[in-house]
A and B are shown apart, each in its own frame.
Chain A
Amino acid sequence: MRTPRLSGCVAWLVLVGLVWAAPPQKTQQWIETLLAVGGRGQGNVEAARAWEQLVRQGPETILPLLEALDRAEPLAANWIRSAVETLADRTSQPPNQKALVEFIRQRRHAPRARRLAWELLGRWWPQKAQAMIPSFADDPSVELRREAIALRIEQLRQKEKAGAPRQELIRLAQAALHHARDEDQVRLLADKLSQWGQKVDLARHFGYILRWKLIGPFDNTNKKGFPIPYPPEREIDFSATYQGKVGPVRWIDYTTTEANGRVDLNKALGKHMGAVAYAAAIFYSDRDQEVDIRVTSDCAVKFWLNGKLLGSYEVYHAGQRTDQYIGRGQLRRGKNIILVKCCQNEQTEPWAQGWQFRLRVCDRTGGAILSTDRP
């Protein structure tokens, strides 16, 4: 008795759903409204109205929303993400599994969109989502890649526990390390390899530049030196001598041996407060390519690639997490010049005495890009 009544209800609900489902062009119009959200609150009011309509639609709206993430600026992306999650919470039916899997597989889509799609897949089909993880090891989405590396680390642990041969463990760890991007995973794998007698060149893995030419100190009393374009900002002439803060200064060669690529300017140039130093590196590329220049420093820094300013941060002694400042630039085929300006202030606290930076060149995932002349 119950089944016909139930199926009747379902059919009725489907019919109502069809009647109420907005035409695709209307859905696209609402999505465009979300995409139009900009800075300073621009488009929020319109987006709120469009968002309300979108979350009333069925699961078929999820995929167009995910695709829209390919074009979304950061604020619009959050509107879209929120619409996807709300829709997923409210819909009685899951989206099309095949379409979702296909979307995740297509690496042309925005990394965040694919990650969100994978999370949705896991919500309805956890085993399917789990099964996809091994394919993420070299994924352009660092978040998806992290899942694959975590899985490999876990497999490594199990094999080690089961007494697998050392050589097999080393091979597995090296393969995982090759793809690892997140610092915690890299360090964990490097530590394991080190325990097994394998030397890991972390500076190379991350792409830290070790060989520098340094010049300084120039004056930064009262933090006035940050905006002043001292001679190295106007010309790169490694044979030149300039007037510095305490006398003539000239470029010196300096190679750091620290695994994290840290250039300790107190060590290299002497301890100076209220001082500016410049560091230059020659970087050879085998082709024209877009790169990330990632800088970490607890001092105020500016950095340039081939004369183009990629980052300017006048912040003193407020933390120095890896990849603190990221600039996107274009390497030319052949010779390139990377320039860093590192400013120390005059704070007297013990924790404010560091005058240092580290810089790496990498792709969008954080994978090292090395100068072709690197030994």
Chain B
Amino acid sequence: MFRRTATVVFALAVLCLIPGADWLQFRGPGHNPVSQVQVPAPLDENLRWQVPLPGRGASSPIVVQGRVIVTASSGPLQDRLHVLCFDARKGKLLWHRQYWATGRTLCHPSSAVAANTPCSDGELVYALFSSNDLVCLDLEGNLRWLRGLTYDHPTAANDIGLAASPVIVGPVVVVQVECQGESFVAGLDRHTGQTRWMVPRPRRANWASPVAWRDPRTGDPLVVVQCSQSLAAIDPDGGHVVWSEPLGCRTIPSCTPLKQGLLVPSGSGLMYLTHPGTPRQKRLWRSNRLAPSDPSPVVVDDQVLVIKRTVLAAGDLATGKVLWQFRLRGQRFWATPVVGGGRLFAVSEDGLGQVIQLPQGKARPRVLDRYDFQQRVLASPALTPQGLFVRSMKALWKFSVQAAESPTD
């Protein structure tokens, strides 16, 4: 008995150490939600657990060292903020911390104050809310620091709601707050929450998230931020703008960083920009047919996948040529799909999850499974070796293919 238990514990410990086992931010590793783990199907047979959440949320779950962390907001004014941590294996609640919003909590009725996805460096968790409350906790739920960015900058608020997710780059956690009031990108010290730098931004509403990217020439880490007027890179150490391109970027889908460039949702299209901010900068292609709606683009090998309204489209990454299109079911999509093991999982706002077998060669995409969550889903899922984690408006779900549980568990 002890031996079996020890084996299970050891296996889990190993699982947590596998590169890519964690899903530490919005859209996962590299801001491109592609995993080596296959999307499980059929979903109903592989549902491991489902837990209700104490509030609403459009924020995605993150997975850190065998723990699933998710945020929620509750109350008639959505002013109670929650950070919850579950055991990834069993769905057991490990801790639950609550805070009072110190900023504005107005948001579109279809969204929530828990709209921004938290991020983690593997040791600390940074949970940001639409009220611009940012809390830093360790994995045991101990509070390390907190900030109230609307408390500090009272006009930094958007009554439709803010949604840009924070990102960790070098020594700072980066937050992007853009609205009709005071707008900025700020780098806060990861360990103390002190503002290391702040870059003023246009006073226009923006929900796209900042991304971490390495300069292909120097290998230096950069923070890339987009808005309706520009695409810019900021040095995470000093906060100076390294380059800024006058480019009308989209304000909901975020750009996807690649080794040599960036896939940028801009205007009514999608653009592949290589070596931005350098003399070698080149717009490799721009395609209106690959323009994503609200979900961000996903790159799988040499293809880019986008959801345009209700159509899943694949394009050739080198040329931008559309390879195939496939109509999904559902009214509208907010969640960026995840891809793993040749399968794509997309979920519509009205809660219809769909597992699509991505085609090889000249084959067509094929629906492997559909699953009705019977709840609205706005959050992008997380896919790790421990499972596929989906956050619906009021619950957290885990799906995974695994052997029967050990009797000692």
**Which residues of A pack against B, CB within 8 Å?**
39-41, 44-45, 47-48, 51-52, 55, 74-75, 77-79, 81-83, 85-86, 89, 112, 143, 146, 182-184, 313-316, 318-321, 324
How close is A84's CB to chain B, nearest CB, in angstroms?
Answer: 10
4 interchain residue pairs of minimum CB distance: A319-B159, A44-B145, A74-B102, A82-B143
B205 within 8 Å of A by Cβ?
yes
Q: Supply 18 further A-B pairs (C-beta < 8 A) apart from A74-B151, A86-B143.
A: A41-B147, A41-B195, A44-B192, A44-B194, A45-B145, A74-B100, A74-B102, A78-B99, A78-B102, A79-B143, A82-B99, A86-B142, A182-B76, A314-B180, A315-B179, A315-B180, A319-B108, A319-B159
CB contact under 8 A between A82 and B97, given known A44-B194, A48-B143, A319-B106: yes
- A81:B148 contact, CB within 8 angstroms: no
B76 contacts A55, C-beta separation under 8 Å: no
A337 CB to nearest chain B CB (Å): 25
Q: Answer whether A55 and B108 are a contact pair too, CB < 8 Å, given A182-B76, A315-B181.
A: no
Residues of A within 8 A of B158 (CB): 318
| Contact yes or no, B143 A51, CB < 8 A | yes
Which of A52, A75, A183 meets B102, CB within 8 Å? A75
**Could you list which residues of chain B lie within 8 angstroms of chain A, going by C-beta atoms?**
75-76, 95-100, 102, 106-108, 133, 135, 141-148, 151-152, 155, 158-160, 179-181, 188, 192-195, 205
Q: Choose among B96, B102, B133 the residue with the greatest number of A CB atoms under 10 Å from its CB.
A: B102
Known contacts A74-B148, A78-B146; A44 and B100 CB within 8 A of each other: no
CB-CB under 8 A from B205, the residues of chain A are 318
**Do A143 and B75 have beta carbons less than 8 Å apart?**
yes
In the assembly, what is the distance between CA of A371 and CA of B160, in Å?
A: 33
* Residues on A with beta carbons closer than 8 Å to the beta carbon of B146: 44, 75, 78-79
Contact A315 B159 (CB under 8 A): yes
Q: Which of B141, B151, B155, B159 has the most CB of A within 10 A?
A: B159
Shortest beta-carbon distance, B244 to chain A, in Å? 25
Answer whether A324 and B106 are a contact pair too, CB < 8 Å, given A39-B148, A39-B151: yes
A182 to B100, CA, bound (A): 18
Q: Which among B76, B100, B145, B152 is the interface contact of A81 at CB below 8 angstroms? A: B100
Q: How far is the CB of A61 from chain B (nearest CB, A)?
A: 15
User: Can you list 30 pairs linking A and B with CB atoms under 8 Å apart?
Assistant: A39-B148, A41-B147, A41-B188, A41-B193, A41-B194, A44-B146, A47-B145, A48-B144, A51-B143, A74-B100, A74-B148, A74-B151, A75-B146, A75-B147, A78-B100, A78-B135, A78-B146, A82-B99, A83-B143, A146-B76, A182-B76, A184-B76, A314-B155, A315-B159, A318-B159, A318-B179, A319-B160, A320-B159, A321-B106, A324-B159
* A75 with B180: CB separation less than 8 A: no
Contacts of A45 in B (CB 8 A): 145, 192
Q: Is the beta-carbon distance between A112 and B193 smaller than 8 angstroms?
A: no
- Give chain A residues whose Cβ lies under 8 Å from the Cβ of B193: 41, 44
CB distance from A72 to the nearest CB of B (A): 10
Which B-chain residue is minimally distant from A44 (CB atoms)? B145
CA distance A315 to B142 in the complex (A): 37
A88 to chain B, nearest CB (A): 11
Closest CB in chain A relative to B29 CB, distance in Å? 29
- Most B CB within 10 A of own CB, among A44, A74, A79, A316: A44
Task: Return chain B residues, CB-CB under 8 Å to A182.
Answer: 76
Residues of chain A within 8 A of B143, CB atoms compared: 48, 51, 79, 82-83, 86
Q: Which residue of B lies closest to A47 (CB)?
A: B145
Knowing A81-B99, A318-B159, the reply to whether A75 touches B145 (Cβ < 8 A) is no
> B residues within 8 A CB of A112?
100
Residues of A within 8 A of B155 (CB): 313-314
From B106, B133, B152, A40 is in contact (CB under 8 Å) with B152
Residues in chain A near residue B75, CB distance under 8 A = 143
User: CA–CA, A148 to B370, complex, Å?
Assistant: 43
Q: A55 to B100, Cβ gap below 8 A?
A: no
- CA separation between A146 and B181, bound complex, in Å? 32
Chain A residue nearest to B81 in the complex (CB): A78
Q: Whose C-beta in chain B lies nearest to the C-beta of A143? A: B75
Q: How far is the CB of B321 from chain A (nearest CB, A)?
A: 34
Q: Which of B100, B180, B188 contacts A316 (CB 8 A)?
A: B180
User: In the bound complex, how far is the Cα of B158 from the Cα of A78, in angstroms?
Assistant: 22
Q: Is the CB of A75 within 8 A of B148?
A: yes
A127 to B374, CA, bound (A): 33
Residue of A nearest to B94 (CB): A89
Chain A positions within 8 Å of B107 at CB level: 319
User: Can you name the residue of chain A whose Cβ is closest to the Cβ of B189?
Assistant: A41
